[in-house]
Amino acid sequence: MTYTSDTLPSFSGQTIDNGRYLLLDAIGSGAYGVVYRALDTKSDTLNPSYYAVKCLSKTELSTDQMLSQRREIHLLQMISGSPHTIVLHTVVEEEIYLYLIMEFSSGGDLYLAIKAKVYFHNDDLLKTAILQLLDGVDSCHNKGVYHRDLKPENVVCNEEGSDLRIIDFGLATKNRLCHDRGCGSSQYMSPECIGRGSTAHLYSALHNDIWSVGVVMLNMVTGRNPWRKAHFSDPVYSDFLADQEGALRDMLPISREFNDLLCKIFSIDPARRPTIPSLRQSIADIGTFYMSSYELADASGASRLAAGNIFPQVDLDTSTRESTLAKSYSGFHTQAAMDAFLAGWDGFDSDDSEILDLAEWGSVPPLHLSNGNSGPYSSDPFVLPDPEGGVSTGSSELSVSGSFGPITPETYADTAVGSIEDIPEMFSLAEPSITFDFAPPTSKAPPSERAVRKNVPRT
């Protein structure tokens, strides 16, 4: 399938807003747009200012996609300037293209920070970053905006990982109760958002965000996802439901206090999940996120295996990295992982391994274990053992998204039909009398200097 972002011309070297912003290198792409680092040509040459510019096409979009584009800008207006959320400075409109001039973060996204071991066994930095993430989510919720696609790729940070901003509001909503299940990225969706097997007609977007935050927190601490999706069909999630107090610590070297907090976040009953202020206090009170050396000595083989292979070195080039922390190549049963560990197998150490896409594999290489069993092993260090040992591409990686944000290349979140119900019919970007003309022109042209600038007031 060809996405709109694939058809956009290169904007590198072009200027917009009457020469004010010089677009430099592309730093991210989504389903319908590309994000560039841009130089403010009016800034001090000795201390230049840079911005992130999201370039969106107004052509080849369906009515729903146009409305979704307008919705994202509207919601960015609402939350711009809130603590630890991205700042939208200006919107520039041309005949064919829209440009969202936003705050630039030098460190890239949280995914890269996790893969670069920025948070590895650094409890103080983890606390700082997680508290900022919680503050960002809380500030959105307090303004009536629910993100619905929280994941490491949708959080940017500085190079030290100590200053976080939430980005990409393409799937966000103002509706606290939603009917469009399956909206977001499957590994980060709550069970009620996934919806299959649920009898409820609506789900809470607020409580879905809290669930997603729990998964992101676990990503930051361990570099792993707990499961591919929170559904009974996922064997690892089923194991968690059968043993909620012990399942995560059987697989990951996390402290008991962090495990207890995660169990509250991952409550099957949304109403029993902690509030953001309660989560904030719990994080502040945590002594450590990790097992002690004494606990590890008595831990399961899987936990010890994970402790020795958290955050392995990989290529951090955004053009070749895995599309998401949860991208699945294969997995194997927890017991098999324990057997392999006890036999001295070092199969998770992928420091020198080449990252391959599923399409390039053809077939999954078998792993022969000491107990005579064999099964596929995971070349992706961020996937927990799969009791069934099966291969999965994950639904979110291959789905078209309504998101226009700088998500990881080749990664598209799921969006459900009818998820744009909260867009005002007479939406405007600035004054009520000013509206965008979203009628698609007849031809496509490179960026033009003849732009209309619309200043976006901070709210």
Burial 24-62 (b: 16+ CB within 10 A, else e): bebbbbbbbbbbbbbbbeeeeeeeeebbbbbbbbbbebe
Whether the CB-CB separation of 175 and 145 falls below 8 Å is answered with no
CB neighbourhood size of 135 (10 A): 18
Mind telling me the catalytic residues? 149
| Residue 319 buriedness (CB in 10 A; 0-12 / 13-18 / 19+) | exposed
Helices 276-285 and 205-222 pack at an angle, to 10 degrees, of 20
Which long-range contacts link 239-246 to residues 24+ away (Cβ below 8 Å)? Answer: 239/334, 239/387, 240/266, 241/268
Separation between Cα atoms, residue 321 and residue 315, nearest integer Å? 6
Residues ≥6 apart with Cβ < 8 Å to 433: none
Asked whether residue 54 is marked as a ligand-binding residue, the answer is yes
Place of tokens 């043993």: 243
Residues ≥6 apart with Cβ < 8 Å to 174: 75, 78, 144, 145, 146, 422
Left if phi > 0, otherwise alpha if psi is -120 to 50, otherwise beta: which for 121?
left
Residue stretches of the annotated binding site for ATP = 54
